[in-house]
Structure 1
Amino acid sequence: MKERPILFNGAMVRAILDGTKTQTRRVVKLQQLAGNYFEGGAAGVEFDGFRIPRDCGPAPARFSAEAVGGGACISEEIYCPYGQPGDRLWSRETWSVVSNDWDDDGNLIDWIPDRPATAIHEIPFGQGYYSGHVIYAADGAHEWAGDDDGGGEPRSAWHPSIHMPRAASRITLQITGVRVERLQAIREADARAEGVTIEDRHMGGYCAGEFLPPAIRAHRELWESINGAGSWAANPWVWVIEFKRVTP
C-alpha cells in the first residue's frame, strides 16, 4: 500500500467531511506520453488522437497514440498517478498553525483552539518547525493574534495547500476504484458522488440547449471554476478515483 498527497479546495474538503464526496476526477496528462515518442520526430506529423479502453478497472490504463500520415501506432501502459485500489491518499488543504505559548513562569500553555484542529509537535516547515495545533481554512476564518484592529488589512497566516506536510493533514482516503473516461461521460449519480451542491439554477427546465440533469450541471460549474472557462467543453480524458474516508 502506498500513500500519496492530493489537493482539495475548501468546498470539497467540507463535502468529504460530511460524507457526500466519494469520487474525484483529475485530467489524464496525455501530453507526456506524446512527448515520449514523438518529440523531435518527423516534421509535419500530427496526432490523430488517443484511444483508451472504456473498462480499465484497477489495471493500468493503456494508451494508443496514432500519428496521422506517419503510419505509427505506439502503445504504452501507464498507471494512475494517484494510485490503485487499496492505496491511500492524504488531503492537502489550506492550513495554518496556532502555536503553543508559555506563561510568565516559563510553563507551556497547550491550549486547543475552539474549532477543528490537529495537535502537532515539531513538524518541519521552511527553515524551522511548528508545534501547537493545525487549523484549516475550510472551517472558516480565524482572528490571528496581532491582527490590525485599526481598520487596516489584517495579517494573513494561512498557508497554501501545496505546502501542507503529511503530519498536518486531517483526511486520509482509501482508493476503492480507478477508471478512465471522458469528462462529459459522467452520470448523474457519479456527479452527486463528486460532492456538488445543487442550487435552484441547476434545477431549471431544459431550455436554450441545456439538457443536463441538475447534479451534472452543478459538476460542470464546479469543474470550470477550478479548471477555467472552456475546460468542460474540451471534454478531456479523466481519471475517476473512487474512495472512502479512513477514520481513526
Structure 2
Amino acid sequence: MADRPILFSAPMVQALLAGRKTQTRRIIKPRGHASLFDGSWTDDYVLDPGNASWRAKELRFCIGDRLYVREHWRTWSTSDHLPPSQLKVGTAVDYIVDGADVLHGKHRQAMHMPRWASRLTLLVTDVRVERLQDCSEADALAEGVERIVFPERGDWGWPQRKYRKIWENINGAGSWEANPWVVAVSFDVLNQNIDEVP
C-alpha cells in the first residue's frame, strides 16, 4: 500500500464531489512483449494465476493504495510569489472547480498542489488491466458519466459514447480508436485530506 498523488480535470473533480465517479482509467505505457508462442520472454509481465492472463508486473496502483486528488487551485494573492513547496501547511486555499474567487490569487496548476492542500482522498478497492474499449456501460457510469434520458424516445443515452468523448477530450483525437491498454482503478471517495483519514 502506498500514498500517491493523482491528477483530475475540473469535470472529473466535479463528478468525484457529486459522488458519481468511483473509477478512473490511465494508459499503461507499452513496455515489452510476452509471448509463449514465439519463444520470447520479458521481465515486464507476469502470468496472473487468478485469470490465467498476462499482466504488467509493475502497475502504478494497488488495492489498498490511498490517492490524494490534485486539482486546480489558488491561494491569497499575497502568496503569489511563493512556489507551492514554500507555502505553509494550512495556507488558505480556494479550489477553482468550486467557482470561488475569494482569495483572488493566481491560478495554480493541479500538478503543483501540495499533499496538505488536497481535499479528496481515494481508497483503491480494485485494479484491472484491460483494453480501453472494454469499458462497459456500468464502467462508463462509474467514470462519472451522467445518464441522459430521452423521454420522447423512451430510452436512455449511451454512457460509453459520452465517456469516449470525455476520453478524447483529455487524451486527444484518435486516442479512443487506438484502444490502448489501460489500468482501470476503482475506489471509494472520501471528502477529506489524506492525512485526516484514519
Q: TM-score range by the shorter chain?
A: 0.7 to 0.9
Contact 1:21 1:195 in 2 (8 A): yes
Aligned residues: 174
CA distance in 1, matches of 2:148, 2:116: 36
CA distance in 1, matches of 2:84, 2:94: 18
Q: Percent identity?
A: 43
One-letter identity of the residue aligned with 1:73: W
CA distance in 2, matches of 1:12, 1:27: 17
One-letter identity of the residue aligned with 1:91: V
CA distance in 2, matches of 1:144, 1:87: 33
- Structure 1 unaligned segments of length 5 or more: list them: 35-49, 51-63, 102-123, 146-155, 205-212
One-letter identity of the residue aligned with 1:6: I
- Local SS of the residue matching 1:133: coil
Match of 2:59 in 1: 80
- Local SS of the residue matching 1:231: coil
Displacement of 1:220: 0.2
- Local SS of the residue matching 1:73: coil
CA distance in 2, matches of 1:126, 1:21: 28
Q: Normalising by structure 2, report the TM-score.
A: 0.76
Q: Normalising by structure 1, report the TM-score.
A: 0.62
CA distance in 2, matches of 1:2, 1:236: 26
Cα RMSD (Å): 3.0
Displacement of 1:73: 3.4
Q: Give 2:101's match in structure 1, choosing from 142, 148, 162.
A: 142
Query: Counting strand residues as a fraction of each chain, which structure ranks higher?
Result: 1
Contact 2:128 2:185 in 1 (8 A): yes
- Local SS of the residue matching 2:75: strand
Q: Give 2:72's match in structure 1, choosing from 94, 105, 109.
A: 94
Counterparts of residues 59-74 of structure 1 (less than 5 Å)? 64=34, 72-74=40-42
CA distance in 1, matches of 2:161, 2:44: 34
CA distance in 2, matches of 1:240, 1:226: 16
Which consecutive segments of 4 or more residues in structure 1 shift more than 4 A? Answer: 65-68, 198-201
Match of 1:187 in 2: 136
Displacement of 1:80: 1.6
Contact 1:4 1:89 in 2 (8 A): yes
CA distance in 2, matches of 1:126, 1:175: 27
**Largest Rg, 1 or 2:** 1
